[in-house]
Amino acid sequence: MASMTDDTTPFADPDGFEHAADLLASARRVTVLTGAGVSTDSGIPDFRGPQGLWTTDPDAEAMSDIDSYMGDVDVRRRTWLARRSHQVWKAEPNAAHRALADLAAAGRLHALVTQNIDGLHQRAGVPEDEVIEVHGTMLRVMCMTCGLRTPSPEVLDRLDEESDPRCPVCGGIQKTDTISFGQRLDPEVIERAAQAARECDVFVAIGTSLTVHPVAGLCDVAMMGRAALLVVNAEPTPYDDYASAVLHDPIGDVVPALVRRALAD
Ligand SMILES: [Zn+2]
């Protein structure tokens, strides 16, 4: 007998979708991990994808290296200009961001761990204290000497007069509060993320290749805590074989549909 959902679920693997929706619907604590794939619908390019920043502009990779940045004023000048013209300033949250905010509003989101630095989850309405930004945020600038943090627009506004705006307190080099290559992730932030993975009963990885550690290892942490793993990503990931369901459908379609189903039950 054909189930009703065969007609109503437009996804590649309807059974996988149903299984994922059932798991999400019955979960008490859901922890979500998001990567660049969640923000591409908002016009923010993936770093490593075919249209990715590093693929189309090798100079961008030098700007992401902490030693080049700290040691070369020209790299900093180019980085500030790139930050000012970044897509993030005109980007809006998309359907997937809004769906995850609905999950939070329904009290079903334990934590949202994100590799993204665009602040779009918070702008969609996920409470600040439920978002764990493992790669930092572009929305803030940090002084590399004294640690002063300033909203990015205040610093970017100074670019017309200064090509490398220094810290107003100590004169130190400033940088967006993001993790560059060669920089360690913040151990406290990673521990919060690991705790959120340990405490959930469903862990959903969305729009991330799950190839960059330690963040990808959060899947292992969640599964060791007996959580079910759901993977939503266009491309296969190293964790697909361990997942209860793997959905390769477009994130902007499948995430809102999953959340609607989970909240309707
Ligand atoms: Zn300073």
Domain with CATH 3.40.50.1220 in the chain: 1-44+92-135+184-265
Mean pLDDT for the chain? 91
Q: 193: which 2 tokens? A: 């993320």
Can you say whether the dihedral through the CA atoms of 261, 40, 113, 137 is positive or negative? negative
Ligand 1 center to 188 CA (angstroms): 22
Please state the length of the chain.
Answer: 265
Q: Give the tokens for residue 78.
A: 């180019």
Choice between 47 and 142, residue whose per-residue pLDDT is larger: 142
Which residue type, as a one-letter code, is found at position 33?
L
Task: Inform me whether the pLDDT recorded for 9 exceeds 90.
Answer: no
Question: At residue 159, what are phi and psi to the nearest 5 degrees?
Answer: -65, -25
Q: Tell me which residue of 180, 215, 260 sits closest to 31, measured CA to CA.
A: 215
Phi and psi at 91, nearest 5°, equal: -80, 145
Predicted confidence at residue 48, as pLDDT, reads: 53
Closest to 35 (Cα-Cα) out of 19, 21, 52: 52
219 is in an annotated binding site: no
CATH class of 1-44+92-135+184-265: alpha beta
Of the candidates 91, 94, 99, 115, the residue with the CA atom closest to the CA atom of residue 43: 91
- Residue 230, strand partner residues: 204, 245
Question: For the residues of 104-158, what is the DSSP string, one character each?
Answer: HHTT-EEEEEE---S-HHHHHT--GGGEEETTEEEEEEEETTT--EEEHHHHHGG
Cα(19) to ligand 1 centroid in Å equals 51
The reply, when asked if residue 200 is annotated as ligand binding, is no
What's the average model confidence in pLDDT over 49-64?
Answer: 58
SS3 category, 25: helix
pLDDT score at 45: 81
Quote the pLDDT of residue 213.
87
Q: How far, in Å, from the CA of 173 to the mean position of ligand 1? A: 7
* Token code pair at residue 215: 């963040």
The CATH fold assigned to 47-90+137-178 is: SIR2/SIRT2 'Small Domain' (3.30.1600)
What are the start-end ranges of the H helices in the chain? 5-8, 14-26, 53-56, 58-63, 66-71, 73-84, 95-105, 120-124, 152-156, 187-199, 218-224, 251-264
Give the pLDDT mean for 163-168.
97
Kindly report, residue by residue over 203-257, the tens digit of the pLDDT.
999 999 999 889 999 999 999 999 999 999 999 999 999 999 999 999 999 999 9
CB 251 within 8 A of CB 38: yes
Could you give the residue numbers annotated as active site?
Answer: 135
Residue 220 to residue 224: CA distance in whole angstroms: 6
Classify 116 in phi/psi space as left (phi over 0), alpha (psi -120 to 50) or beta.
beta
Q: Is the pLDDT of residue 49 over 70?
A: no
Distance, CA 90 to ligand 1 centroid (Å)? 29
* Under 8 Å between Cβ of 53 and 41: no
Category of 99 on φ-ψ map: left (φ > 0), alpha (ψ -120 to 50) or beta: alpha
The answer to whether 215 touches 134, Cβ cutoff 8 Å, is yes
Tell me the CA distances in angstroms from 187 to 45, 118, 134, 192, 194, one per residue in order: 27, 21, 9, 9, 10
